[in-house]
Amino acid sequence: MKGIPEEYLDKDRAYAGTKIISTGIIYNTTTMELVKQGSEKLPTTSAANIDRYLAWAILRQKATGKEFLFANTHLEPSSSFQSLRVRQTSAILSHLKALRGGSLPTIVVGDFNTHKWIAGGNRPYDQMLANGYLDPLGNSYKSHWTAPGAFVEKRIRTNYSTSNRFERKAPRLPYLNGTYLDYIFVTRMRVSEWETVVKVDARGNFVGLIPSDHNMIRATVWLP
């Protein structure tokens, strides 16, 4: 699995006729109330040809009145754009710092198009951690198991990778954490469960239609 950097990155640059890749947030209006929302355009280059954004929302949990910041993004693909992804991540961190006001609990999700086997390091991942965001899985650079500090309480299929390239057999690794292009970063809070959502048969093949070239990930978090 170590020789996978390029093929595990998104291929959405093939859709060059589409100038914007949609990045959105869906929330449950029964349990959550929208306080404020917005989006921030991320750095790009003429070679990238597709605009990238950080979508964000400040939400209030109706049952407790607690507010938190939720953000979603989709960074530029292709291994040749690693430096651009670094600049995009820096912009994300700057926006989040302004939005958080220093203390708002925050959840950041998205397709960062970078993973732990990329030559030279998983730099956007390192940027997020260096700025106080946490990876509940501890899926650090070239790790086969988990890094010190992993704190998710229950794992469900975390050995499956998030990119599947529409292949019938779901990609997975023989150790604890798969190859992730997609992440859920949090500020300090309890994460009781994490699941890489795949439905496979006894042979490890996807059951039914494959809805995306990425497998969904989900987590159960508890606001502090």
State pTM to two decimals: 0.90
Token pair recorded at residue 52:
């990238």
What pLDDT sits at residue 8?
45
Q: Does residue 14 register a pLDDT over 70? A: no
**Exposed / middle / buried, residue 181 (Cβ in 10 Å: 0-12, 13-18, 19+):** buried
pLDDT of residue 148: 72
168-200: per-residue pLDDT in tens?
999 999 989 999 999 999 999 999 999 999 999
Res 11: pLDDT: 47
- Residue pLDDT, tens place only, 105-118: 999 999 999 999 99
